[in-house]
Every structure is written in C-alpha cells, then in structure tokens.
Structure 1
Amino acid sequence: MSAIKKLLSSLNFGISAKLFLTFWFVVICSISISYVITLQLQHRPTQGVATPKQLHLLNQYATQQNKKIIKLANKEKKFNLKSLRNQFERKYQQHLLIKDLATNKVYLPRHRAWQGIEKYLSINSLPNPVTIDFAYTQVTGAKEITVNNKSYQLFVAGPIDRQQFHSIIEHLPLSVKMMISLIISAFLCWLLAKAFSKPLIAIQKASDNLSKGNLSTRLIGFDERSDEFGAVARSFNKMASQLEDNITAHQRLLGDVSHELRSPLARLQLAIGLVEQNIGNTEEQQRHLNRCENEVDRLDTMIGDVLTLSRLEHTNTTDHFEPIQLVNLTQQVVDDCQYIANTKNVIITLASDEKYSLNGDKKLLISAISNVLNNAVKYAPEHSTVSVELTLITEKICLTVTDQGTGVPDNMLSKLFTPFFRVADARDRNSGGTGLGLAIAQQAIKQHQGEIYAQNTQPCGLMVSIVLPLQN
C-alpha cells in the first residue's frame, strides 16, 4: 500500500484520479479475495434419496417408451432421442435428460444454465436412483433404457429457476465475470472518488479566492451536508465571515480614525496660524495657544483610545485575572464619576443586595464600567439621577446603568458599540468624547466572556446592561 502511495505522489495526478485509483485498487483486491472465498463456499450439487413422485414418473414414462421402441424395432425403424425429449417436455412441463452409457454424452437442452448439469452427469456414474440438488433445479434418475441397441440412462429435471440471479452469474465465463466486476468496481469507485473530490476541490478554489482578497467567498450548498465535509464547509464559511467582518471593521476603523483626526488637526493648524498672526498680542496669543493645547489633548485622548481598542481586540488578558469583589469595584467607579456628575447636579445611586465575586482584570472592568457610567452622566439631564444596580440572573451577574436622558432610536441601539458611532443631535461631536468609549467597554467585557447591550426605558432614558459570569 505504501508503494502505491509513493507511486501516486510521484505522478502529477489530480485528487479525483488519485482517489479513484486508490479506491479501485482496494476494491479489486477485495473482489479477488471475495471471489476466491466464494469459490470455496459456492453451492455444490448434493445427492439424496430419489423423489418418489419424480422417480415414479420416470419409470412410467420409460415403460411406455420401451413399448414404442419394441414396435419400431419390429418395423426396423430407429427411435429418435430428440423427439423423446420433446414429447416428455410437452406432456409433463419438465425436461428429460438422456445419457449415453457408452460415450457418457448427455443429451439435454442447449442452454448455458445446463452446462453444470451436463458436466456432472457425464463424469459421475449413477447406477442407483437419486435426486441431485443443483440449487437452481433438481435432477432425478437414473432409469436405464435401450434404444437402437444402445444403453441410455434417463433423468427427469425440473425447469431452471431463472429468478435466481446467482445461477445466471455462476454460469458465465470467468473472463466475463472478471470484466463485470472490474466495470462495476470502476464505476462505483469513480462515484466515490467524485463524492470525495468535489467538496475538496470546492474548498481549494474557495481558499484560493479568499487568499486573492475575495472576502465574500463562501461554500454554498456544501455547508448543508451532514458529514465531515459539511462540517469543514461550515467552519470555512464561519472563518470567511469572521475574516470579512474583521477586515471590514478595521477598514472602517481606519477610515473613521482618519476622519476624526482631520477635524482637530484642522483646528490645530488654524489656531497655530492665528498665533502667528497675533505675535505681540499677548492676550490673543494665549487664547489661541490654549486652543492648541485643547486640540492636542483631544488628539492624545483619541489616539490612546484607538490603541486601547486595538489592544483589546487582538490580545487576551486572562493571565491577569484575579478574584474581584464587583460591588466594591463598582462603588469605586461610582465615587470617581460622581465628581464629574456634580457639575451637572446629577446623582449616581448604587443598589446591590449581595457582594458578588468574579475572576477578572481589575483595570479592564474599571475602564468598561467607567466608560458606560460616564456616558450615562454625559447625556443625563441636569438635576436627574443615574441608577446603577447589581443583580444575579441565572448564575450570572448583571450590572445595569440607567439614565433619564432622551434615549436612542431603536434602530440604532445595536450600533452604539461601534467605534466612532454617534447618534445625531443628542450625541454629536459637540458633546465631547471620541466615540470609542462604548466600543472599548464592549471589548473589555468580551475579554471576561460576558456581554453588553443597550435598551431604551420608559418613559425615557437608556439602560446599558453588562452581564458577567460568576467566579467558579
């Protein structure tokens, strides 16, 4: 088998041809072994006690024919053996077989199925009455009779059972049997090779298309199969979809970053130009320099957020996980955010029945909760309340942050965690921020095998929920 593999690998065959030749070689070996075994186990004629009914019929017919033979002999006429057989077949719907005892020649119907019987009767001497079982018919004899001064034996045989396919195959020449086996095995192996090679070729072509940048390539149809090829196709489609989403997201992020950087850079260039125009005017110069400092800080914050988001998307921080009391950590974030909320007279409340523990990265969780909470405070109306609540839902911790702002259109809720996404009017660029806070929060929560989502509340406001697994 190894030699066959080396031979196939050395030849420049396609995968279909390789599979076909390999399978065909295996099947030919199997057929050959099966054929040898079949020869050993095939049905062989067996002799048994003569069937009384058939033996009686044979004796009766022989007696009748003896009388006719004597009459013809007296008239010096010869008796025709063929007419004897034909008369018997017409009268009893069975076959009369005649064996010449001098030459061992057997007279019987000319048909391939009778060859085995002819051979058996010619080489075997059957002086006593017997019934011979040939699987596809039974032969009963022998009754001796003298015709034209020659001794013969008569045998009666039932019709050939043509419903038995094996009897037809058994009487075919060996060369024909081998040819049929080769043709059938070749056809079946070719179908098997095509069944295996078709999905492999499709996967190969799809991989080539994907490597050329065609990210929309999918294995259509093959992913519906229930076998291993179907599993591979589904995995490939999932990989291609994820790859397309990632590259599209990175391209969109790059475009968004370029767009976001253009505005502060333009303002920075304008402020620098105004500084140069107002040299000597200390008050005006200082005002423009302060604007330059603000734009630089904004650029620094944006670049820092972009780097943080990129790091969270491409790294796994589970090595830094440690047991954390989420209530204490949330209380710390609430206290920090309350300082900013005081400028708007917004009160942040924290409600929790128990102290929930989980494994996590403290810095990431603080960043995620802080981004969500700062976002709620930013868009909460003055003299309102932002509610933070910790609850346990189906063995998971749910942290909700609810504000009393204007909320978000329902069709935009799923986009809130997209980098640089802002809702028009209430959440535009004039409100400050880089548009990356919720995207960073989402990536931080994903690092903890959790999820984050937003929904509007009645009569107004937005609630952001963070779901995290409990500590094992």
Structure 2
Amino acid sequence: MKNTFLRVFLVVLFSNMIVVAIGLGVVDFVEDRDQVSADVLGDIGVSLVSTYEKSGTSALQEQARQYEQQLQGSIFIYQENGRPLLRPLPRNFREQSSIDSDTESKEDQKASADARRSQFIQVIGASNVQYLLVFRPQDNNDAISPWAIALLSLLGLFVSSGILAYWLMGPLLKLQRITRSFGQGDMTARVDDRLVKRNDAIGNLAREFNEMAGRIETLLSSKERLLRDVSHELRTPLARIEVALTIAEDKHGMPTQQSYLDRIRNELHELDELIGQVLTLSRLEAASMQKGEIDVQVWLGDIVADVQFESQLRGITIEKTGDLPKTLHGDSVQLRHAVENVLRNACFYSGEGCKVEVCSKEVDKRAVISIKDNGPGVADEMLEKIFHAFFRSSSARESNSGGFGVGLTIAKRIVQAHNGEIQAFNRPEGGLEVSFCLPLTGK
C-alpha cells in the first residue's frame, strides 16, 4: 500500500508540475509581450525631439514627464554625440553579455535586468540629426523574486499533492483493514457509515463490500446451522439403531447373525465418528480461534504422554526431543487436536514395537514441530493430496485404518488459521514425516 500511495503522490505531483510549468511559461510569454509598442515609442520620440528642437530643454523635460506618467517608466534621450538631453542613464546600466556571472553583484544584476527590459528607439530629427530614445519601465520594488515564487510553488505542489494522494488512498487503506479483518474470520467487520455515505466510486465500493460481507455471513451461518441440524437428525436414528442392535444381541441369535450384528455396530460407530469430524471441519471454517500464550514444551509433553499411554499395549515408544521454542501464540485446544491427530496416525502406521519421534525446534522465528514414524510412507505424488478432505492415500496406509481422510484436513485448517504451514515428507530411512511450522511471538 505504501508503494501505491507513493505512485499516486508522484502522478499527482508531476501532473501539477506540468500544469504550473505551462502556466509560468504563459505568464512569462505575456510579460515579454507586455511592452510598449515600438510605433508608440517612435511617435513619442519624434514628438519629444521636435519639441526639443523647437522649444529647448525645458519644454522637452515637461513633455517627457507627461509621457513618463502615461507610460509608467523613465525616458532617456541622447544626441548622436552621446550627450543626454534629459538625464543620463545609471552608470552601471549595461547589457547582460558584458557581465561576468561569477563576479556579478546585486546592483549589476539589477542593472542587467533593467537593460533586458528597456527598449531602444532611434529617432531622426531635423537636418537628419540622429537621437537615441531609451525607455526603461518603472521599477517594482515590491515584486517577489522569481526564485521565491518557484520555491513557494514547489512547496504548494508537495503539500497539495500529499493531501490529494491521502484523500484518494485514505479510504482505500480503511477498506484494506476491514477486508483483512473480515478475511481473518471477523464476520461482523463492516465499512463505517462515513465511507458508505460518499457519493462516489469509493462510496459505491464500500456499500458493495458491506452487502457482500452480509451475504457471506448469512451463507456461513446458514451452512453451520444446516450441518448442526443434519448431525442432530442423523445421530437420532443412529441411536435408535444401536438400541435395536443391543436388543437383537440379547436375543441370543445364531453365531453367524452375531457377526453381522457386530459389523453393523462397527459401521454405526464409524458413521457417528464421521459426522463428528465433518462438524469439526465446518466449525474450523466458520469460527475464529481462541488464541493465547502456550508453554510449548509443557503443552507438547502432555500430548506425547497421552498418546504414549494409548499406544503402550502395542509396544510403541514416543521420543520427544528439543527444548525450543518456549512459547507460542495460538489456540492450545485446536492445535493440540491437530498434533494429536497426526501423532496417533504415526503410531498406528508404525506398527508394534516401533519408535515415533516428536522433534521441536525454532527456525527463523518460527516454531517447527516434526512427527516422524517408521510406517510404509506415502507415494510422492500423493503427499499434497493427503491433506484433502476424504482422500485416502493408499491401501498400504489406510486399508485397515478405518479412517475417513478428514483428520489431516482438520489439522491443516487449524494450522492455516494460525498463519502456519503443514507439510509431509517421505523419510530416506523409511516412514513419513509431518512438520508443523507456526509463527512465534516470544521465547
């Protein structure tokens, strides 16, 4: 977003600079053109020379003062021998080309500017006597330096461009924050009324976002409610079927009938477990986590101890290694569910008398928890697919598992809700390694 703000700022700034440059060029052109016409000065020169030749210097000075008031400038007249008839020009009045720019004083700069602004007219008097009329516009001591004007203009451009860029980007920054909050699970996030009431494209975008967010919230709520209702309706007949099975078993049926009843009971239990896993998966999609600080080593030790207790009859040993990281920010219950799920799978596929490793370490300010088993592993082309819902990797790993392919999907959703990653690798020595990578908040 910072890059976008900078781009908008530069575009607005350059656009304003181009407009101002064109405006200054036009003003400069008009100022250059805003001079007394040479024809007018020629007529004035002829009139002044005629007055001088007929009435002398006094009449010339009087008439010159009238023209100076009219033209708002100073008039100088020289005879062809260089003698001034009114008053001499300033001694430092000279052309710019004759001044060394490195050693030019302020007075020289002013005189040079006067020379550039002044107009020179040659006048022919009686008996073909030549005169030179010099008209110098009136000095404006209150005028601001062109450099000062340029600096003030640039300052105004920067300020106005910054304000305009922020005016354009400010609402977008607010929309970005609201969108991020909504994407992280806050279904109540909405754009405030000040943006919604704007009658422009940004206001339209804000209104459409609120409408979209409302529809999504409604759909997710309806989905969660539907799954909850369906699970309730499914579990009710399942409970009745199990009661009927119990009654049928009490009737001391034939051995062949008993085997069928046992099979039906097992299928009922699996169906009930599947319903529970689907509900868990839907809640992970719709609900936000209850996050807090987790003492990683104590928390991980409890998980290992519980699964070790469950697996002791099969002679499986779970070895925990590593003492980092110390703390982790997350939902301890949901993360425990994810790690337990993977650890139980590892124990199941390792076989009796095998060892499962649980390693924890810290890499680039991220917690890495790896679970390694000695089972048959997974085909390389299916390592990504095992995290898809209801996907079964192979007969080697799941032919007798009774699993539904939902456990790893649930673990992945939990990890993603913590801005982390979960990956699976085949170990060179055999077996599968599943790694949880989660961001840290402290040590």
Q: Normalization by structure 2: what TM-score?
A: 0.48
